[in-house]
A = this chain, B = another copy of it.
Amino acid sequence: MYIWGHMAKIKSKNNGTKKEVIVEAATRLFREKGFKAASMRDLAEAVGVEAASLYNHIQSKEELLQEICFKVANTFNQHLETIESSELPAIRKVEAILRFHIRQMLEQYELVLVADRDWKHLSDPYLSNFHNQRRTYRKRLAGIIEKGIHTGEIKQVDAPTVVLIMLHAVNGIESWHRSREKISAKQLEENMVLIMIEGLKA
């Protein structure tokens, strides 16, 4: 039964495989029920262990949420960095960022959704950290859009409003995941880009 026993060493090497299992199960559970409604006993059952045993691998329920939120934040921040320092015209940058959000929502949607919906349940060193990162990310994205407006690539609109629309529109992909008659992921992406980016072009 103790198939994980030999992993002990790896874990102490600061690379816990069992902890990753827990975080993954937590991600699924938090997405399904919400952070507050998901209990540690639910999570334990999903992992196949007693609730108390979880605490051999994690420090608290909130640590799980922190791990999820900042993993997502890092992913998006890193991508934004590379896009910003590229030589694309502004409208192409916006498109690339939109496509990245769509793909993350397609491939990692449980992670992204939990971070987006439940980050407010973080507590305060982490809460304001995350909140700031979020604000900064949106400001930078709005900056790219404004540059595109000045160069005449993008029609004259309020940049922060575009950011709101874009970032929230991709959340609709959650419903796509649950729907029965799905179009393909590729078609979904092209449709979203077509509607939103064409709506932006001057």
Contacts and interface: CB of A to CB of B under 8 A. Distances in A.
A79 B163 CA distance: 28
B36 A188 contact: no
Chain A interface secondary structure, helix, strand, loop or mixed? helix
Contacts of A158: 183, 187-188, 191
A183 B191 CA distance: 29
Contacts of A183: 158, 160-161
B165 A172 contact: yes
A172 B191 CA distance: 20
A192 interface: yes
Interface stretch (A16-24, A47-55, A56-64, A194-202): A194-202
Q: How many copies does the complex hold?
A: 2
Sorting the interface of chain A by its residue count into under 10, 10 to 19, 20 to 34 or 35 or more gives 35 or more
Nearest to A199: B199
Contacts of A155: 194, 198
A113 to B, nearest CB: 12
A128 to B, nearest CB: 14
Interface string A172-202: 1101100100010001100110111111100
B168 A171 contact: yes
25 contacts: A34-B36, A117-B117, A157-B191, A157-B194, A157-B195, A158-B188, A158-B191, A160-B176, A160-B179, A160-B183, A161-B176, A161-B192, A161-B195, A163-B172, A164-B173, A164-B175, A165-B172, A165-B192, A165-B195, A167-B172, A168-B171, A171-B171, A195-B200, A198-B199, A199-B200
